[in-house]
Structure 1
Amino acid sequence: MDTQVAPPPQLTSRRYGAVNWLGLKTLTEREIKRFLKVGMQTVFAPLVQTLLFMMVFGLVLRGGPWPGTERAYADGLAAGLVMMSILSNAFQNASSSIVIAKVQGNSVDFLMPPLSAFELTVAFIVGAAARGILVGAASLLAVSWLANITPAEPLAALYYGVVASIMFGAVGLIGGIWADKFDHIAAVTNFIVVPLTFLSGTFYSTDILPEPFRTLSHYNPVFFLIDGFRYGFIGSHDAPLVTGALISLAITIALCWACWALLKSGYRLRS
């Protein structure tokens, strides 16, 4: 008796909607778990630097007020140091993730799956922002015994904290795509990130600077982040808040678009 053999099922590619939510969620979780797995290095180690800066500058200018306010100098310094922690850690997370993947040759892990350039951009930047915000929150708790960290304008502090973490997550992603080895990232950190951070009013109010340095400091994009974040804690600012908020947002959007364009082109990733 003839037996009829059923034809093998035809394989079809999995179909996604406008966004591959599963892939996006998986890569985002990977980026967050990657730095949480070495939390002593990525979360708690930065607190040592913040506390050292806080104690050294607090001892040098103990008892003095923050320029133009009645708040203690330590209060303004604490806000600047917390923002510096947010910026540096968001940058390090995104840049190290890409460079490590390049050096170890496993960038195929995120290039081969059905993830668009938009989804890759969101996942890497969200992971970087998560580390920046987490380290910023931990830094706030760490300096709470040395300064008054009660925010005067909580929404302003939250806005600038989130925008800063996204902005420098994007900067780190661009740096990681460009870099071929860790020396390149170290160069970006030492010659771009650190100077911009230190010369933006982290440790001082730019109002005390003589001209033309005071005006020049206001062309530093990091200045608006620190100035707005400090306003959120001590209620004092050196530049118009609306201008700073809009400029920071515009720069962040432009950097995120640049990340998307680089990932879409495959620059230094698929070549």
Structure 2
Amino acid sequence: MPDTISPAHGTRRFGRVNWMGLYTLAEREVLRFVNVWTQTLLAPLVTAGLFMLIFSIAIGPRRGDVMGVPFTTFIAPGILMMTVIQNAFANTSSSIVVAKVQGNIVDTLMPPLSGAEMVLGYLAGGIARGLIVAVVIALALGLILGIWPAHPLTALVFIVTGAAFLAGIGIVAAIFADKFDQMAAITNFVVTPLAFLSGTFYSVEALPTGLREITYFNPIFYLIDGARYGMIGVSDADPTLGLAIGLVSTVAINLVAWRMFRTGYRLKA
């Protein structure tokens, strides 16, 4: 969608932000998941709890310590971050693909919003959903397992970066997909494998050399690893390097999303 609109709607100047439109889009995206909180917030929390319970019972007693911490403590931040990024992705992707399938995406494209403003509006919903899930899981880990953030600010930065990265991927995937089957394929064959094969349940030091090198090319690995450092103070990679890779990846994917909105790629009839 171009950054200028017709004189009938007024002229947008370079650098000017439509704050009201941006706020309205962000508010809509937040209300979307808040209004169905049992599906969008409660269900992921139950799933995260089940992951913790199953892995703790099935593997924990035999696994021993990982990187000097109990196995349950080691996987807890990974499950937290995995839940965050999955929810951030689901929020943006479901919003756009449903609008495209139902034919009401035009309601978002017609208002005087630039491509950047639309990206930021959708990101706000994805990040908000990810943060709410993260806060609730973090509280549960602290109250039940006694796992409180070792570096709270670091954990917060990685959680927000991870949510923004996957929310951006959700935007790109939803714009590319024309129907629910295509969206499901992207989720099942791209997003889920990247999330599970990124050190969520194991240290990459336990992997064979080939797989370990492949993991280092997965940006989600650095996000999960950074969140683990923020939560329990241990990590496979340098958190500074991980944050740099996470930020670069987040900016890159959201630039792609901005370009798609700006040009109307697979959005305009």
Confirm or deny a common fold (TM above 0.5): yes
Bigger shift: residues 80-89 or 242-251 = 242-251
Aligned equivalents of 1:157, 1:264: Cα separation in 2: 33
Q: Give the drift of 1:138.
A: 1.9
Residue number in structure 2 paired with 1:270: 268
Q: Give the drift of 1:241.
A: 1.8
Q: Give the drift of 1:211.
A: 1.6
Show the 5 A alignment for 1:8-19.
13=9, 18-19=16-17
Residue number in structure 2 paired with 1:164: 162
Name the SS for the 2:209 alignment partner.
coil
Letter of the structure 2 residue corresponding to residue 49 of structure 1? T
Q: Give the drift of 1:145.
A: 5.0
Aligned equivalents of 2:26, 2:57: Cα separation in 1: 41
Residue number in structure 1 paired with 2:37: 39
Aligned equivalents of 2:183, 2:81: Cα separation in 1: 21
Show the 5 A alignment for 1:1-271.
13=9, 18-63=16-61, 65-69=64-68, 71-271=69-269
Q: Give the drift of 1:65.
A: 4.6
1:75–1:148 Cα contact (<8 Å) kept = no
Bigger shift: residues 88-97 or 59-68 = 59-68
Bigger shift: residues 134-143 or 161-170 = 134-143
1:54–1:143 Cα contact (<8 Å) kept = no
Letter of the structure 1 residue corresponding to residue 37 of structure 2? G
Aligned equivalents of 1:169, 1:200: Cα separation in 2: 18
Higher helix share: 2
Letter of the structure 1 residue corresponding to residue 53 of structure 2? M
The alignment yields a C-alpha RMSD, in angstroms, of 1.7
Q: Give the drift of 1:155.
A: 1.5
1:151–1:233 Cα contact (<8 Å) kept = yes
Aligned equivalents of 2:31, 2:140: Cα separation in 1: 23
Q: Give the drift of 1:214.
A: 1.8
2:66–2:74 Cα contact (<8 Å) kept = no
Letter of the structure 1 residue corresponding to residue 81 of structure 2? M
Q: Give the drift of 1:223.
A: 0.5
Q: Give the drift of 1:133.
A: 1.2
Letter of the structure 2 residue corresponding to residue 94 of structure 1? T
Could you tell me which runs of 5 or more consecutive residues in structure 1 were left unpaired when the two chains were aligned: 1-10
Paired residues, number = 260
Letter of the structure 2 residue corresponding to residue 234 of structure 1? I
Describe the superposition over 1:101-141 as per-residue Cα deviations: whole angstroms up to 9, x where unpaired.
01111111111111111110110111111111111222223
- The TM-score normalised by the length of structure 2 is 0.92
1:151–1:234 Cα contact (<8 Å) kept = yes
Residue number in structure 2 paired with 1:3: none
2:89–2:168 Cα contact (<8 Å) kept = yes
Letter of the structure 2 residue corresponding to residue 268 of structure 1? R
Could you tell me which runs of 5 or more consecutive residues in structure 2 were left unpaired when the two chains were aligned: 1-6
Aligned equivalents of 1:77, 1:12: Cα separation in 2: 56
Percent identical: 45
Letter of the structure 2 residue corresponding to residue 172 of structure 1? G
2:84–2:133 Cα contact (<8 Å) kept = yes
Q: Give the drift of 1:212.
A: 1.8
User: Which entry has the higher C-alpha Rg, 1 or 2?
Assistant: 1
Relative distance call for 1:13 and 1:217 in structure 2 (3 A) is closer
Aligned equivalents of 1:143, 1:190: Cα separation in 2: 28
Which consecutive segments of 4 or more residues in structure 1 shift more than 6 A?
none
Aligned equivalents of 1:198, 1:130: Cα separation in 2: 22
